[in-house]
Structure 1
């Protein structure tokens, strides 16, 4: 779970970061000191969760949550106990009082994880309804509650990073809920080939194949490079009509 910390006090951000490092499957991807900066960081980093202070200069945490309802799930972390009702009205996952106890933080993150899993299940149901896996080239991403659709035939490469599947489109890195294995199965008939456990490429977008010391790498027309496993090298060469050497 990718977390963004939003608090105008740097010591508070550092302490939260230390606490989060002790929790499994949690990554602090960045921080911000006020609401305006938080909005920019959300757009840039696309976190799964915000840990958000209430009182900050400029746009405070409550104003941010009330004004921008399509933000990722929120957990308020504050020294003030009199904003809880308004926080939950803004659909906060939880409301933690400083100094935050580690066990209380862990419980809050489990609640957030449950909300994210429920959202992913809803996305999967939408995918099944609008894009049958046996016939569609459609790739769907979700960002801040907005569904975005891409044609897989315009995509050169999908790759795995940690627990995510990424690809480049519209001059930026995108993230889809589907695994590489799922994409491999439904995009095979559209010219995609799995060349590495972490790489799925569009064969019609291959510009060159580089071989060095028995290692292979594919260069794609948009400049991306994809790793090729030793095991997949012969399959790739056959698919591209290359003579075996």
Structure 2
């Protein structure tokens, strides 16, 4: 497991490096001293986990965690009052400094367990709603629509928000018949009830929702729908 350490205090980063050196099966992929560096390092190094401080100059840890596409986050902070915001940002854990090796090891194990579950059941979505973690079967969802830092989808009459990039979700759900119909929309193929060729094309879903098909995606969508 490759770890990116993000903290504006060099002493705090050094302590985490030492702790990680005593935990089997992990390595430090890199370090960052602020939020902007963290995002750049996450993109360049593709770590498995980010150990992330919250109170940093410029872009803080909560803003980093809310950025689509970042790896799983374990917050490491001296301040307990950010806990609710942290879990709303879908943090895997929230560690208060000073951090013990045992507590850090347990937090990393949570990430391993959740990652293993995602690999075995890629259709299983984890949605944060306040202090609750809800589990949703993506195979029951008609569409996912990108809206800033969230993906919006519906289960029955309820609208839910998922904090994941559309690219990552597409990679997970493609084996289950999901199609990218435009830059900001993913639809379940067997939920499509009609294809409208007017005005560049659109798919009409079982719920009646109409989603435009982009020119770039049109050929692949028509082929998948055999139209």
TM-score (norm 1): 0.50
In structure 2, the partner of 1:145 is: 168
Moved over 3 A (4+): 122-125, 146-149
8 Å Cα contact 1:62-1:87 kept in structure 2: yes
CA distance in 2, matches of 1:95, 1:78: 8
1:4 maps to 2:27: no
Q: Deviations over 1:178-203 (max 9, x none)?
A: xxxxxxxxxxxxxxxxxxxxxxxxxx
> Which structure is higher in RCO with an 8 Å CA cutoff and minimum separation 6?
2
In structure 2, the partner of 1:156 is: none
In structure 1, the partner of 2:25 is: 25
Extract unaligned runs of 5+ from structure 2.
125-164, 173-227
In structure 1, the partner of 2:42 is: 42
In structure 1, the partner of 2:108 is: 109
Q: 96-105 or 116-125, which moves further after superposition?
A: 116-125
Judging changes above 3 Å, is the alpha-carbon distance between structure 1 residues 24 and 124 closer, same or farther for their aligned structure 2 residues? farther
- How far has the Cα of 1:148 moved from its partner? 5.8
Aligned CA-pair RMSD: 2.5
CA distance in 1, matches of 2:167, 2:14: 26
Match of 1:42, SS state, is helix
- How far has the Cα of 1:92 moved from its partner? 0.3
Aligned residue pair count: 133
In structure 1, the partner of 2:138 is: none
- How far has the Cα of 1:122 moved from its partner? 3.5
TM-score (norm 2): 0.54
In structure 2, the partner of 1:59 is: 59
